[in-house]
A = this chain, B = another copy of it.
Amino acid sequence: MTSATQTSLSEYLAEQVTVVDGALDRCVPPESTQPSSIHRAMRYSLFAGGKRIRPILAITAAKAVSERTEGVANAAAALELVHTYSLIHDDLPALDNDDFRRGRPTCHKVFGDALAILAGDALLTLAFEVLSTLDVDAETRIQLVKELSQAAGTVGGMIGGQVQDIEGERQPPTAGLLDAIHRAKTGALLRASVRFGALYSAATESELAALTKYGEHLGLAFQIIDDVLDVEQSSDTLGKTAGKDQQQQKITFPAVYGLEKSRQMAMLERESAHEALEILGTRADRLRQIADFVVLRQA
């Protein structure tokens, strides 16, 4: 394990992006596999320069509790498959109708709506196949399947949050609704990402509880900053259409609390994330750095 002081966070993140991309490349069929169009569409969206925050959280959480982290990148890849499927479907004309993502035309703009729907379905399906074939005991694999399916589901999970988000467009922006939406829409998968690493590395109950708490605070900080950046930054910097939230009358942190209060809230979530890690000592230094990075990022 590389000590947090030996390499900078940006070097560490760059290293881990390479590791995650390698795992993703191995688990998605090559473009030459028939029917090639669907594998092209899946790979187009998957290798579009994502920050790989979710898999990196999983890998880093695994490292915080165990030296045995071989193969965790394959488990972590499943998180990115699910995240990418959700982006493809969210961008569809029937949903957010976005033409750009990460600075490139969205999946449906390149491959058409039909193939984009199917590519999303395929990434979601593949995530569970990947988990089912991991090189760890069956009990751990099935725990990960349960964790991912619940985090991505309708009750407190990603799809549930997405539905509330769409329906929220016609409702007054209240703090309670905002909290519910974001805990589910982005929070659940970020929380699951941290828990993935802990479960994979057979964390103790108290380690799992600490990491879960960290994941919850980090997830909220992440979403607050995402909302803030949507207001403050240009489309060029974000690589996607900026100001979209306001235009769609989405319920966001700046809409409910204003920009300054939102930034303060993100800082408080960062502090809580740090506090949650106390029992892990210096083993969790990278996770602390990631919490800082999430709050201080500019895109």
Partner-B contacts on A (CB < 8 A): 29, 33-35, 37-39, 42, 85, 89, 92, 94-95, 112-115, 117-118, 120-122, 124-126, 128-129, 131-133, 137-139, 141-143, 145-146, 148-150, 152-155, 157, 159-160, 162-164, 166-167
Is the pair B154, A128 in contact by a Cβ cutoff of 8 Å? Answer: no
Residue numbers in B under 8 Å from A148 (CB-CB)? 128
A28 and chain B: residue at smallest CB distance = B154
Q: How many copies does the complex hold?
A: 2
Is the pair A133, B155 in contact by a Cβ cutoff of 8 Å? Answer: no
A94 and chain B: residue at smallest CB distance = B113
Checking B114, B138, B154, B166 against A142 with a beta-carbon cut-off of 8 angstroms, the contacting residue is B138
Is the pair A121, B39 in contact by a Cβ cutoff of 8 Å? Answer: no
Known: A29-B154, A133-B146. 16 other contacts (CB 8 A): A33-B154, A34-B164, A89-B117, A89-B118, A89-B121, A94-B113, A94-B114, A95-B114, A115-B163, A118-B162, A118-B163, A122-B153, A124-B124, A129-B150, A132-B142, A132-B146
With A160-B38, A167-B35 known as contacts, the answer to whether A129 contacts B146 (CB < 8 A) is yes
Residue numbers in B under 8 Å from A117 (CB-CB)? 89, 92, 94-95, 117
Q: How far is the CA of A137 from the CA of B141 in the complex (A)?
A: 12
Is the pair B145, A131 in contact by a Cβ cutoff of 8 Å? Answer: yes
Q: How far is the CB of A270 from chain B (nearest CB, A)?
A: 29
